[in-house]
Amino acid sequence: MDYETFYRHSIEAPEAFWAEQAQLIDWQTPPRQVLDYSRPPFRRWFVGGTTNLCYNAIDRHLEARGDQLALVAISTETGLTRELSYRQLHREVNVFAAVLAALDVQRGDRVVIYLPNIAEAVFAMLACARLGAIHSVVFGGFAAHNLALRIDDAQPKLLIAADAGMRGGKVIPYKPLVDAALEQSAAPPPHVLIVDRGLDPQMTRVAGRDLDYAQLRKAHEQAEVPVAWLESNEPSYLLYTSGTTGKPKGIQRDVGGYAVAMAMSVRYIFDIAPGQVMFSTSDVGWAVGHSYNVYGPLIAGATSLLYEGLPTRPDPGIWWYLCERYSVRTMFSSPTGIRVLKKQDPAWLRKYDLSSLQWLFLAGEPLDEPTAHWITDGLGVPVIDNYWQTETGWPAITLMPGLELKRVKFGSPGLPAPGYRMKVIDEATGEEAAPGHKGVLVFEPPLPPGCLSTVWGDDERYLSSYFGHFKELLYSSLDWAIRDEHGYTTILGRTDDVINVAGHRLGTREIEESVATHPAVAEAAVIGVRDELKGQVPVVFATLKQDAGTQAGQVAQAMQQRVVDQLGGIARPSRVYVVNALPKTRSGKLLRRSLQALAEQRDPGDLSTLDDPGALEEIRRALERGP
């Protein structure tokens, strides 16, 4: 089917459309009503239907594909690879679920999972889903304070943690962070279930509180744990947003709508059929990891690759080696990941046989055109930028090669995904902006299946964060965008980051993109800094490619000139700082708000999701030194 027909059907007859998609999953009881929209903007999909995410991800495949690979967990940190068939995954998840049940984890209870990107994280998530418990995965290695905040918000019955993670060959002990978090927490759970990888011989245990998973599992090796059938709108999991703009929000997901969105998107967006292989480089701690390392590919009966390690270790060819080794069809990564590789020799992109690889999807940050060209040319595979949020759970703007591949427009993630009614709203008038005019990207409710149900325990925050911005009831993405006459949307940056120079509004993206066209530039962040005369002026922080070999001063001048040539004098960066690293969140997003705060000599704010404090220190020094 062509994209237009499919999309139009989803908008004109949403209930018929989603009822058809609901056939892609197994229901214990079929839904009584496709959509209940009696309390806008809250909506309930597939009312009265009962199902289970774990059943759809594993049990239903056992008969047809029990011996097919379900999960391959590769670690270039420990050197371990685990390959699990659907039958083996079923066994491990039953054992894990039995251990959880023995610790009195019940339907509706929360379980915080603080594990690295290893197979046990997947077992733990699916075991919770099997029992109807609500998991909340916290990215492994987040500081104690972050973990404590999330524990206090979710109030879990149990915390599951590892002794340690590893990054770049270095062991990162988790247990001291867990101990500190539980000390800070106002509502610490009674038990910590420890997956001991044997990486930290110094690990200490608190008697009575800390339990060893390997010990407990012995009593349950043959356990069969029945699936808990949940009503479609019961919560399945919580996941906190990246915290790029401030305090993270606890996104609450449902069961049935999410399962249907996963089945539909893996098939028609990611072009994966049962038995095919999908490789997402994300960590399970992020939205992409939840949807396209765990639930999506498994619900689809595919094989999912999970990767613990850096993209450059043991060498910058590791991802492509894995594509060859496992005949990966669809790969999913982030612009940040590709920009890391861009600093390396492009010959790595051609070292392995990539004949199985059909698509490279990238999401999470704007994909600048130079990077998009570099990776497309280097791999010889179509690169598909796609836009979404933790809130949406799956792409909102993308191309859908599983239906048909529409034209790739560099710089734009493409067209609306099924079920998303999209508009760009002019902030001044509150009306829909004409094609080619900038504004806020919004979705008209009801949101499609898979998107958040609410903010955990805080309906008010759900309403005020997302629906309180316009006269009409509209979901604000809080991103700035522009649409062309063919419906292709380009994301220009976050609404918080818009730069206002003498009355002209500029998206950070526009200037970053322009700066990045300089061949020596690896990555750039642009912020607006207070200015007495103009209100704000753009300021650039950039990193250079390793082999750039040019003088930073010269490059800086050339960057300013490029912006003037491409966007006009009004956008000219008033200062350019060349640095070795830019501050990012753990999920690889530029922390522009912290850069801006430092440049304006303010407090950099909540840094709990900052990845490398060294990068911020360097910015501080660069600002003191001057451009």
Instruction: List contacts with ligand ATP (CB under 6 A).
Output: 241-245, 248, 287, 363-367, 385-390, 413, 477, 479, 491, 494, 587, 589
Helical residues (DSSP H) of 416-551, grouped into ranges: 459-462, 508-516
In the region spanning residues 240 to 259, those forming contacts with Mg ion, defined by CB under 5 A, are 241
Cβ proximity to ligand ATP, 32 vs 247, nearer residue: 247
Q: How far is the CB of 510 from ligand ATP (least distance, A)?
A: 12
Tell me how far apart the alpha carbons of residues 293 and 35 are, in angstroms, rounded to a whole number.
28
Cβ proximity to ligand ATP, 388 vs 577, nearer residue: 388
Site string for Mg ion, 190-229 (x = CB under 5 A): ----------------------------------------
77 phi and psi, to 5 degrees? Answer: -85, -50
Cβ proximity to ligand ATP, 241 vs 560, nearer residue: 241
Q: Hey, what are 29's tokens?
A: 């009881």
Cβ proximity to ligand ATP, 271 vs 497, nearer residue: 497
Could you tell me which residues come within 8 angstroms of residue 91 by beta carbon, excluding any fewer than 6 positions away? none
Binding-site partner at residue 413 among Mg ion, ligand ATP, none, CB < 5 to 8 Å by type: ligand ATP
Q: How far is the CB of 591 from Mg ion (least distance, A)?
A: 13
Helix (H/G/I), strand (E/B), else coil: 262: helix
In b/e form, how buried is each residue of 173-205, taking b as 16+ CB within 10 angstroms? bbbebbbebbeebeebbebbbbbbbebbeebee
Binding-site partner at residue 243 among Mg ion, ligand ATP, none, CB < 5 to 8 Å by type: ligand ATP
Binding-site partner at residue 135 among ligand ATP, Mg ion, none, CB < 5 to 8 Å by type: none
Cβ proximity to ligand ATP, 49 vs 588, nearer residue: 588
Containing H/E element for 154? Answer: helix 144-154
Interior angle at CA 138, CA 133 and CA 144, nearest 5: 125
Cβ proximity to ligand ATP, 123 vs 480, nearer residue: 480
Q: How far is the CB of 604 from Mg ion (least distance, A)?
A: 18
Q: How far is the CB of 272 from ligand ATP (least distance, A)?
A: 20
328 phi and psi, to 5 degrees? Answer: -65, 135
Applying CB under 5 A, the span of 234-242, 286-294, 315-323, 349-357 interacting with Mg ion comes to: 234-242
Binding-site partner at residue 236 among ligand ATP, Mg ion, none, CB < 5 to 8 Å by type: none
Tell me how far apart the alpha carbons of residues 307 and 325 are, in angstroms, rounded to a whole number.
14
509 phi and psi, to 5 degrees? Answer: -55, -40
Residue 432: DSSP 8-state: B
In the region spanning residues 554 to 613, those forming contacts with Mg ion, defined by CB under 5 A, are none
Binding-site partner at residue 479 among ligand ATP, Mg ion, none, CB < 5 to 8 Å by type: ligand ATP
Tell me how far apart the alpha carbons of residues 546 and 524 are, in angstroms, rounded to a whole number.
15
Is residue 538 a contact partner of residue 573, using CB atoms and an 8 Å limit?
yes
Applying CB under 5 A, the span of 199-207, 238-246, 316-324, 501-509 interacting with Mg ion comes to: 238-246
Q: Which of 542, 582, 570, 537 minimizes the C-alpha distance to 558?
A: 542
Q: How far is the CB of 373 from ligand ATP (least distance, A)?
A: 16
Binding-site partner at residue 366 among Mg ion, ligand ATP, none, CB < 5 to 8 Å by type: ligand ATP
Binding-site partner at residue 293 among ligand ATP, Mg ion, none, CB < 5 to 8 Å by type: none
Is residue 222 a contact partner of residue 91, using CB atoms and an 8 Å limit?
no
Binding-site partner at residue 126 among Mg ion, ligand ATP, none, CB < 5 to 8 Å by type: none
For Mg ion (CB under 5 A), the number of binding residues is: 1
Is residue 529 a contact partner of residue 535, using CB atoms and an 8 Å limit?
no
Q: How far is the CB of 345 from ligand ATP (least distance, A)?
A: 26
Q: Which of 621, 527, 537, 516 minimizes the C-alpha distance to 579?
A: 621
Distances (CA, A) of 341 to 27, 351, 491: 43, 14, 23
Cβ proximity to Mg ion, 241 vs 304, nearer residue: 241
Q: How far is the CB of 262 from ligand ATP (least distance, A)?
A: 17
Containing H/E element for 213? Answer: helix 213-217
Binding-site partner at residue 365 among ligand ATP, Mg ion, none, CB < 5 to 8 Å by type: ligand ATP
Binding-site partner at residue 364 among Mg ion, ligand ATP, none, CB < 5 to 8 Å by type: ligand ATP
Is residue 164 a contact partner of residue 181, using CB atoms and an 8 Å limit?
no
Cβ proximity to ligand ATP, 478 vs 552, nearer residue: 478
Residue 114: half-sphere exposure toward Cβ, Cα within 13 Å: 31
Tell me how far apart the alpha carbons of residues 461 and 477 are, in angstroms, rounded to a whole number.
14
Q: How far is the CB of 492 from ligand ATP (least distance, A)?
A: 9
Helical residues (DSSP H) of 103-143, grouped into ranges: 119-131
Binding-site partner at residue 491 among ligand ATP, Mg ion, none, CB < 5 to 8 Å by type: ligand ATP
Cβ proximity to ligand ATP, 132 vs 248, nearer residue: 248
511 phi and psi, to 5 degrees? Answer: -75, -40
Cβ proximity to Mg ion, 91 vs 509, nearer residue: 509
Binding-site partner at residue 494 among ligand ATP, Mg ion, none, CB < 5 to 8 Å by type: ligand ATP
Containing H/E element for 332? Answer: strand 330-333
Q: How far is the CB of 482 from ligand ATP (least distance, A)?
A: 12
Q: How far is the CB of 480 from Mg ion (least distance, A)?
A: 13
Q: Hey, what are 409's tokens?
A: 């427009």
**529 burial class (0-12, 13-18, 19+ CB within 10 angstroms)?**
middle
Cβ proximity to ligand ATP, 289 vs 317, nearer residue: 289
- Pairing between β-strand 277-280 and β-strand 303-308 as defined by DSSP bridges: parallel
Q: How far is the CB of 326 from ligand ATP (least distance, A)?
A: 25
Q: How far is the CB of 285 from ligand ATP (least distance, A)?
A: 11
Cβ proximity to ligand ATP, 56 vs 495, nearer residue: 495
Q: How far is CA 162 from the centre of its chain?
A: 22
Cβ proximity to Mg ion, 51 vs 336, nearer residue: 336
ω before 314 within 30° of 0 (cis)?
yes
Q: How far is the CB of 595 from ligand ATP (least distance, A)?
A: 15
Containing H/E element for 275? Answer: none
Q: How far is the CB of 318 from Mg ion (least distance, A)?
A: 30
Cβ proximity to ligand ATP, 469 vs 494, nearer residue: 494
Binding-site partner at residue 41 among ligand ATP, Mg ion, none, CB < 5 to 8 Å by type: none
Contact residues toward Mg ion (CB under 5 A) are: 241
